[in-house]
Amino acid sequence: MPEKAKILVAVEETRLGERLRHLLNQLGHRVTLLKTSDLALRYLEREPFDALIMSLSLPQHGGFRVLEVCRERHRRMGVIIIGQRGEAEKTVRALEAGAYDSLARPLSLERIRVVLQRLMDRQRLERENRELHRELHDRWGIHNLIGISPAMRRIYDQIVQVAPSKASLLICGESGTGKELVARAVHDISKRSGGPFVAVNCGAFSENLISDELFGHVRGAFTDAASDKPGVFEQADGGTLFLDEVAELALPVQARLLRVLQDHRVQKLGSTKTTAVDLRVIAATHRDLEKLVGQGSFREDLLYRLRVVLVTLPPLRERLEDIPLLVDHFVRRYAAENQRPVRGVTRSLMDALLSYSWPGNIRELENAVQGMVVLCTGDRLTEEDLPRHIKSSFSSPSLDLHVGMTLARIEREAILKTLAFTGGHKRKTAKILGIGLRTLFRRLKEYTGD
Ligand SMILES: Nc1ncnc2c1ncn2[C@@H]1O[C@H](COP(=O)(O)OP(=O)(O)OP(=O)(O)O)[C@@H](O)[C@H]1O
Ligand SMILES: [Mg+2]
């Protein structure tokens, strides 16, 4: 939304409408004022607005019908509800259904300014995310990576910086944080993107088998070796070799790997010849390699060879602002794939998803959304659809506090855990915490960046 926004105001009371127009003009915004839901719908069809401010009791079809159309066809526009006396329940329901925020009467210029500013900030963030993705897509084809948190932006920068070089890359991060996706992105935008991308899971083979897999063998090297077999180093020649779970390699295999990385030549098992290979190695692990070096189970010199550049993927629970984007992405993908009518999730479900700790990170989130979409018959996922193990995790009401957390972090932990404990019930949550419902809404919106 530009600093001067185009705002549609739909309220039935003339005096209220005029007052809103006056306040909004004072803030420099452009206002179109009308009194019925039919007119509102017609205007929305005709031209784009940055925000719609309306009362829920509009004549004809009422505000909820307008809200529904906005959620379907004008997703980027913010809808702000004018709360009427005695309509608190209805207002909360509208917020649940996707309205951006509400304004209580009597109207205050300051409150309107704050709400619109926050909406503009959110719209700017969304626009930036779209632009960032278009740019990443157009220039480098990194279209599979979702996320706009500062941590993810740093990862994009690193990918773009390291891709053109041949430097080895070590990607660390918990399970399911996207290590393989990042490796592929680096390959896709590198000069070697025309060459092969070969991935091998070092943890999936025994010591002998992984040597054979990595370096290959010649005919007769061992009893069953009926013909020559190239290893993945040769298969990935001219491209990228992704060594997943690299910490699982046994020490003798580590020694051979180090030699190949130093000499850029491989020797097949049973052969006296070596073959030159030209490729980039990207290794990944969820383990702490420094610690394994200390324990003597990982070679220090190999660690240095692999970790010319280090990319550390943060766990999902440390980048909450990415959760709504990821949820949206997975809902769309799996609804299309399974031909389901699901279009989004309720606010309460989103709050529950934000308060869960995601030990399996994005893979767990993706699986959860996929499962919910497949089983859902309505057009929105609700808390009822949550997988059982996530629901039951909410019944343990302990807070994860430690010295070194900021007060804001502690507050967030208290709010999200209490919300999870009440099963997403905002009124109960606010009561337990001793804060107002509005404060709770405000905080929840801050956490999701909208
Ligand atoms: N930033 C992201 N945006 C969209 N999807 C993601 C993102 N990160 C991960 N995913 C998805 O999550 C799943 C797990 O990602 P990936 O396999 O890359 O993780 P990993 O770190 O290699 O996990 P593991 O250590 O368990 O092998 C994949 O389906 C991937 O597409
Ligand atoms: Mg992986």
Q: Is the pLDDT higher at 433 or at 420? A: 433
The confidence score (pLDDT) of residue 1 equals 47
| Nearest Cα residue to 243 out of 280, 193, 199, 307 | 199
- Rounded distance from Cα 181 to ligand 1 centre (Å): 6
Residue count of the chain = 450
Q: Is the pLDDT higher at 398 or at 120? A: 120
Count Cβ neighbours within 10 Å for each residue of 337-361 and write b for 16 or more, e otherwise: eeebebbbbbbbbbbbbbbbbbebb
Q: Name which of 31-35, 93-97, 230-234, 444-448 the model is least confident about.
A: 444-448
Residue in 154, 180, 197, 311 to alter for ligand 1 test, most ligand atoms within 8 A of Cβ: 180
How many CB atoms are located within 10 Å of the residue 35 CB? 18
For range 326-346, the mean pLDDT: 91
Strand partners, 53: 9, 80
Residue in 133, 171, 181 to alter for ligand 1 test, most ligand atoms within 8 A of Cβ: 181
Radius of gyration of the chain (CA): 27
Q: Does the pLDDT at position 219 exceed 80? A: yes
For range 18-34, the mean pLDDT: 94
CA-CA distance, 301 to 293, in Å (whole number)? 10
pLDDT over 70 percentage in the chain = 96
Q: Does the pLDDT at position 347 exceed 90? A: no
The confidence score (pLDDT) of residue 283 equals 98
Domain annotation for the chain: domains and CATH numbers:
6-127 (3.40.50.2300), 147-314 (3.40.50.300), 318-448 (1.10.8.60)
The confidence score (pLDDT) of residue 428 equals 86
Q: Measuring from atom 16 of ligand 1, which residue has the nearest CA? A: 178
Q: Name which of 29-33, 241-245, 328-332, 364-368 the model is least confident about.
A: 328-332
User: Structure pTM?
Assistant: 0.68
For range 266-274, the mean pLDDT: 91
Strand partners, 285: 172
Q: Is the pLDDT higher at 112 or at 401? A: 112
The confidence score (pLDDT) of residue 67 equals 93
Any atom of ligand 1 within 6 Å of the Cβ of 314: no
Q: Name which of 71-75, 254-258, 282-286 the model is least confident about.
A: 71-75
Ligand 1 atom nearest to CA at 146: 3
CA-CA distance, 182 to 313, in Å (whole number)? 9
Any atom of ligand 1 within 6 Å of the Cβ of 146: yes
